Amino acid sequence: MTGSDLEALLSSASREQRSSMRVAILYAILAAVSAVTLLGLSGWFITGAALAGLAGVAAVQAFNYLLPSAAIRLLAIVRTLTRYGERLQGHKAALLTLAAVRAGLFQRFVGAPDLSRASGDMAATLLQDVEAIEDRFIRTPATLGSLGGAGAALLLCGAAGWASALALLAILIVTLGASSLLARRLLPAPARQIQEAIARLKHDVVEYAVCSAELVAYAMRETVEDELHGRAAALDRVRFAFTRGEAMLAAFVTLMGGVAMAAVIGLSDASLPVTMLAGLAAAGAIEAIGAGVRSIGRDATVAAGIDRLSALVARTPEPPLQGTRLPGTRITIGTGAGVIAMQPGDRLAITGRSGSGKTSFLSCLAGLQDSCALAVCIDGRPLANCAAQDRRPLFALSPQDAQMIAGTIADNLRLARSGLSEAALWDALATACLADEVRAMPQGLMTWIGDGGTRLSGGQRKRLSLARALLAGRPWLLLDEPSEGLDVATEQKLKDNIIAWLDRTQSGLIVVTHRPAMLALADRQLTLAG
């Protein structure tokens, strides 16, 4: 997905929330206009009152004080209510838009999976960057509202004469233009460098943490800590540069506020009350566009986030399954005399020392990995010519790490296939020798197993993973060390159950193991040299 694709996703998601966004913008404009008018009108009122007071009783009698004083109170209330409405509607539009974007991003990501990057860390980055975009949506109404406030101030300044109004217009343009130039000069580089510095620091912390024993052995810890502090100081420096850039933008707005006030008052050719009205409104206008300027400042962070998100989902989606689906009726491993040819229902055990590539062979077959050290053909086609998504429907893998999703036992089992009945789940659990334990749990199938299944023991997780693979109903079952963490009696029972299941379903089996009981599942054995 390119950056414009991501923008397309964003705009299609935001289209549905257009009405909320419009209401939010309307509220924002009302809030900004009433804020500007409140200050301006108050200044006009006080000045007018002072002049009338000086001019004597007749002037006081003639001064209409009821309308402005009522308007001042009304504006105070309108400002409060509209700002509340703006925030609520703005957040509504942003939250619902980004909810759709998050889901859309996930869909696109799994549509073109890059398994090498599927780590929790990456997911966290993804969340952070989406939050930055959410922030941009939340700020949109206030940014547009501030322009409304500026417009109102220009109108009020018009009463003070052309010179004042033109001066304010020029100052507004200069403020926005210079801020955006300044922001583009000062912020994008540090925003990017902050992310790089954090990534670098994290990388180094991990690198050194895994060497902790060596650091102790050679008394290197303090040297390494100094090195890490140096890295962290580099991060602090770029963060400082970024903060300073933001602060300069804010200070610039403050400065222009004073300049605008002085210019409008100085150039006014109207009466003193109108002059004060214009001056205070001008200050209000600059304060209002401060929100817009802050927004400009944040854009650097948002842009960096969008770049990262685009890169993350930058792969073209896998083409949908074509008619040439593999039947998976013949699998050959190796070449020449030692070749192993497997027909449906055949059972093979793979052994070999750790690091000999047993696990990666299985994940290769299952379509989770593309480079395989062994010469494997499926239906006569070399593995390299069988697309990963064509291989996946052939194999049900119970991986070595028995990966689980955070959810219930049923959630994890139902991952295998859609439309599974409860009876089927119990059946699979019984085959995997886990049914009794699950039945004993207070909530049975609905038991929450924690993040990554941490509330289960290693052995339970293994068997749950096996049950899930059984439920997938694929022609080939791939098991990686299925009996790890089991006692001998359960292991024997598990072996008998798996054999009975294989006999019944006529599924093929490839099992990676070094345990004798599990070797007995297979009629043939392949030892990887590594």
Partner 1 sequence: MRATPPSLLWFADGAAAIAMAAALACAAHFGISAFDRPGFLASLAGLIIATILRASVQLAATGSGQKAAVTAKHGWRRRAFAAVLTAPAGSRTMLGEQVADATDRIEDLDGYHARFLPLRFAAVATPLLIAAAAAAASWVASAILLGTLLPFALGMILAGTAASRVAARQLDILGRLSGLFIDRVRALPIIIGFGAQERIGRHLAGATQEVATRTLAVLRIAFLSSAVLEFFAALSVALVAVYCGFNLLGLLPFPAPERLDLGRALFVLVLAPEFYLPMRRLAAAYHDKQVGEAAMQRLAALPSPLPEPSPALAPLLRPPAIRIEGLTVDYGERHVGPFTMDIPAGRMTVVSGPTGSGKSSLLNALMGLAPATAGDIQIDSMSLAMRSLGGQASWTGQSIALLPGTIFDNIRLARPGASDADVADAARRAGLLAFIAGRKEGLGTRVDTRGSGLSGGERRRIGIARALLRDAPLWLLDEPTADLDRQSVDLIMHEIRKASAGRTVLIVTHDPGIAAMADQHVSLA
Q: Which range binds partner 1 by CB under 8 A, 116-124, 330-338, 432-440, 501-509?
A: 116-124
Q: Which is nearer to partner 1, 43 or 149 (CB)?
A: 43
From the list 15, 184, 185, 229, which residue makes contact with partner 1 (rule: CB under 8 A)?
229
Q: In terms of DSSP bridges, do strands 395-398 and 331-333 run parallel, antiparallel, or are they unpaired? A: unpaired
What residues numbered 412-451 form the site for partner 1, per CB under 8 A? 415-418, 451
3-state secondary structure 354-373: CCCCHHHHHHHHCCCCCCCC
Between 294 and 495, CB nearer to partner 1: 294
Binding mask 128-167 for partner 1 (x = CB under 8 A): ----------------------------------------
Q: Which of residues 209-228 bind partner 1 (CB under 8 A)?
A: 209-225, 227-228
Among residues 308, 392, 455, 493, the one that binds partner 1 under rule CB under 8 A: 392
**Binding string, 57-86, against partner 1, x = CB under 8 A?**
---x--x-x--xx--xx-xxx-xx--xx--
Pattern 498-517, binding to partner 1, x per CB under 8 A? ----------------x---
Nearer to partner 1, 217 or 489 (CB): 217
Binding residues for partner 1, rule CB under 8 A, total 139
- Nearest one of 407, 319, 306 to 101, comparing CA atoms: 306
Give me the residues paired with residue 56 across strands. none
Alpha carbon 491 to its chain's center: 42
* Residue 54 is a binding residue for partner 1 (CB under 8 A): yes
Site string for partner 1, 261-300 (x = CB under 8 A): xx--xx-----x--xx--xx--------------------
Q: Among 329, 299, 198, 186, which residue's Cα sits nearest to residue 244?
A: 186
Stretch that binds partner 1, among 111-119, 160-168, 328-336, 343-351 (CB under 8 A): 111-119
The minimum distance between CB 43 and partner 1, in angstroms, equals 7
Per-residue 3-state assignment (H helix, E strand, C coil) for 443-511: CHHHCECCHHHCCCCHHHHHHHHHHHHHHCCCCEEEEECCCCCCCHHHHHHHHHHHHHHHHHHCCEEEE
* Sheet containing 347-351: order of strands: 395-398, 476-480, 508-512, 347-351, 524-527
Whether residue 464 contacts residue 413, with contact meaning beta carbons closer than 8 Å, is answered with: yes
**Which of 99, 189, 502, 528 contacts partner 1 by CB under 8 A?**
99
Chain residues 394-413 in contact with partner 1, contact rule CB under 8 A:
395-397, 399, 403-406
**Count of C-beta atoms within a 10 Å radius of residue 219:** 8
Nearest approach, Cβ of residue 52 and partner 1 (Å): 6
CA 262/CA 265 separation, integer angstroms: 5
Pairwise CA distance, residues 13 & 93, whole Å = 10
Site map for partner 1, 352-391, x if CB under 8 A? -xx--------x--xxx-----------------------
Cβ proximity of 125 and 173 under 8 Å? no
Distance CA 82, CA 35 (A): 10
- Among residues 359 and 431, whose Cβ is nearest to partner 1? 359
Q: Which of residues 465-494 bind partner 1 (CB under 8 A)?
A: 468, 472
Is 398 strand, coil or helix?
Answer: strand
Torsions phi, psi for 210 (to 5 deg): -75, -10
DSSP-derived 3-state class of residue 331: strand
Q: Please, which residue, 254 or 335, has the CB nearer to partner 1?
A: 254
* Residue nearer to partner 1 on the CB measure, 122 or 340: 122
Query: For residues 4-43, which are near partner 1 according to CB under 8 A?
Result: 35, 38-39, 41-43
Query: Given the DSSP bridges, would you call strands 476-480 and 508-512 parallel, antiparallel or unpaired?
Result: parallel
- Of 118-126, 339-347, 378-386, 436-444, which segment contacts partner 1 by CB under 8 A? 118-126
- By beta-carbon proximity to partner 1, the closer residue of 70 and 500 is 70
